[in-house]
C-alpha cells in the first residue's frame, strides 16, 4: 500500500531498520524485521548506502521480505549522490520486480571518494523519477532545525519546496530532541508553501557518545533536559540507554497528542526500542492494544 494513502487515513506509526554491515548475515535483518512487524507498524523503512557501496545491495531483498513474508508495507531508501541515471533505473526496476511501491528519495551523505554524478540534490532524483513516469510513492527528508549544509533557514525551506514541486508525496523528518523545534518547523512549512504531510522522526539516545555524534552529524541541538537525563543516568550504559528510550517515548506521546501526521522511530535495529515505543503509545490510547 502507498504510504501517502496511509497518511491520508490518519496518524501513522512506523520503524526504520538498516541492512547488516560487514560479516553480519542477512538473516539477522530478517529476524529484526520479523520482531518489529509483531508490533504492527504501518510501515518499516530500510536504509541504503549511497553510490552502490556498503550494504545497499541488501535494501531491496530486506524490503521485499517485509512486504512478502511479513505482510507489512516496506519503504526502501534510495540515495543518489555518486549514482548515475542507469544506477537509479536498475534500482527502480528491482523495486518493481519485488512489488515495492514506496521509496524514500535522499541525496546521501558526502564522503571522500563519493562525488556528484548525475544527481546533486534529492530534488533532482525526485524529478528524475517522476520524469521517467515512475509510479512510486516518493517520500523525502526534512530537517526541523535546518540542514547542516544550508547557510540559512530560507534556503532550507526553498530546498523543501523544490522537493514538493518535483513530486514528493510526503516528508520524514531528521531526528530532534525538542518537540517544540518540530512544532515550529511545522508552522514554518505552511508559511513557505510546503504543504506535504510531515512524519516526525525520533531516535532514542543510548549513550553520551552517541548523542554527541548525532548532534554533530545531524545538526540536532541537545536541550538541557536531555543533558540532565544523562547526568542522572550516570556512567552505566544500561541506565543511559534506558533514559534515552524513556525520553523518546515521552516525545512520541506528546507528538501523538499534538496531531502530527506520523510517528517514525529510528529503532537502530533494536526490537526492544520499537516495542517500548508502541507500548507507550498504547498506554496513552494513541494506538490500539
Q: Is 85 exposed, middle or buried (0-12, 13-18, 19+ CB in 10 A)?
A: middle
Q: Which three cell numbers stand for residue 85?
A: 541515471
**CA–CA distance, 143 with 122 (Å, rounded to integer):** 13
**Could you tell me if 3 and 170 are in contact, meaning their C-beta atoms sit under 8 angstroms apart?**
yes
**Could you tell me if 250 and 1 are in contact, meaning their C-beta atoms sit under 8 angstroms apart?**
no
Q: Which of 16, 67, 101, 145 is catalytic?
A: 16
The answer to whether residue 101 is catalytic is: no
**CA–CA distance, 238 with 206 (Å, rounded to integer):** 8
Element counts in the chain: helices (H) and strands (E) = 11, 8
Give the 3-state secondary structure of residue 121. Answer: coil
CB-based contacts of 4, cutoff 8 Å, min separation 6? 137, 169, 170, 197
Among candidate residues 257, 247, 265, 259, the one with its CA nearest the CA of residue 284: 257
Q: What angle do CA 189, 76, 13 make, to 5 degrees?
A: 60
**CA–CA distance, 194 with 191 (Å, rounded to integer):** 7
Kind of pairing, strands 198-202 and 170-173? Answer: parallel
Q: Where are the alpha helices (DSSP H) in the chain?
A: 3-8, 26-37, 59-68, 85-98, 122-131, 153-166, 179-191, 208-218, 224-233, 237-257, 271-283
198 CB-side CA count, 13 A: 26
Q: Provide the annotated active-site residues.
A: 16
Amino acid at each position: 500500500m502507498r504510504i501517502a494513502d496511509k497518511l491520508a487515513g490518519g496518524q501513522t506509526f512506523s520503524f526504520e531498520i538498516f541492512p547488516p554491515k560487514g560479516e553480519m548475515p542477512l538473516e539477522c535483518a530478517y529476524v529484526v524485521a520479523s520482531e518489529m512487524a509483531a508490533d504492527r507498524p504501518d510501515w518499516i523503512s530500510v536504509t541504503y548506502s549511497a553510490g552502490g557501496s556498503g550494504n545497499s545491495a541488501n535494501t531491496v531483498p530486506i524490503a521485499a521480505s517485509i512486504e512478502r513474508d511479513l505482510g507489512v508495507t516496506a519503504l526502501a531508501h534510495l540515495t543518489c549522490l555518486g549514482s548515475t541515471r542507469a544506477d537509479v533505473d536498475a534500482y527502480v526496476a528491482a523495486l518493481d520486480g519485488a512489488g515495492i511501491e514506496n521509496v524514500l528519495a535522499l541525496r546521501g551523505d558526502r564522503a571522500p571518494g563519493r562525488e556528484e554524478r548525475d544527481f546533486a540534490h534529492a530534488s533532482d532524483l525526485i524529478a528524475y523519477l517522476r520524469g521517467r513516469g515512475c509510479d512510486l510513492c516518493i517520500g523525502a527528508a526534512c530537517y526541523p532545525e535546518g540542514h547542516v549544509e544550508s547557510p540559512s533557514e530560507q534556503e532550507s525551506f526553498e530546498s523543501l519546496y523544490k522537493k514538493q514541486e518535483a513530486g514528493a508525496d510526503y516528508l520524514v523528518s531528521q531526528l530532534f530532541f525538542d518537540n517544540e523545534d518540530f512544532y515550529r518547523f511545522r508552522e514554518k512549512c505552511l508559511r513557505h508553501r510546503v504543504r506535504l504531510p510531515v512524519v516526525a522522526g525520533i531516535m532514542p539516545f543510548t549513550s553520551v557518545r552517541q548523542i554527541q555524534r548525532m548532534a554533530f552529524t545531524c545538526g540536532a541541538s541537545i536541550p538541557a533536559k536531555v543533558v540532565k537525563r544523562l547526568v542522572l543516568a550516570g556512567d552505566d550504559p544500561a541506565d543511559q540507554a534506558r533514559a534515552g528510550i524513556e525520553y523518546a517515548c515521552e516525545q512520541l506521546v506528546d507528538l501523538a497528542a499534538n496531531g502530527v501526521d506520523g510517528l517514525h522511530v529510528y529503532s537502530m535495529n533494536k526490537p526492544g526500542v520499537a516495542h517500548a515505543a508502541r507500548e507507550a503509545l498504547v498506554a496513552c490510547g494513541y494506538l490500539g492494544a
